[in-house]
Amino acid sequence: MEVEAMRQLGAALAIGLGAIGPGIGVGMIGAKAVEAMGRNPEAAGTVQTNMILSIAFAEAVAIYALVIALLIKFV
């Protein structure tokens, strides 16, 4: 029983802490991209493409944290 509780806690901490960084990163990426598009509307297409690519890389970190959490919980 005690080992199972520690596994549950470890899985919760893994995804909880692992999602903080990407959440903050995606927010900062979005804010700066909107700011850049407001200052230079002609470059909106390039900025948007780079923003989406950066968000995908940031979200990959959250997916890694989810995989680790699932491994802790079920393996």
Q: What is the pLDDT along the chain (75 residues), one digit of tens a residue?
A: 799 999 999 999 999 999 999 999 999 999 999 999 999 999 999 999 999 999 999 999 999 999 999 999 998
Per the CB < 8 A criterion, the answer to whether 24 and 58 are in contact is no
**Residue 75 DSSP one-character state:** -
**Residue 1 DSSP one-character state:** -
**Total structural domains within the chain:** 1
Q: Tell me the residue type at 41.
A: P
Domain range for 6 is 2-74
Torsion angle of alpha carbons 67, 73, 21, 40, nearest 10°? 40
CATH of the domain at 46: 1.20.20.10
Does the pTM surpass 0.85? The reply is no
Burial of 19 (0-12, 13-18, 19+ CB in 10 A): middle
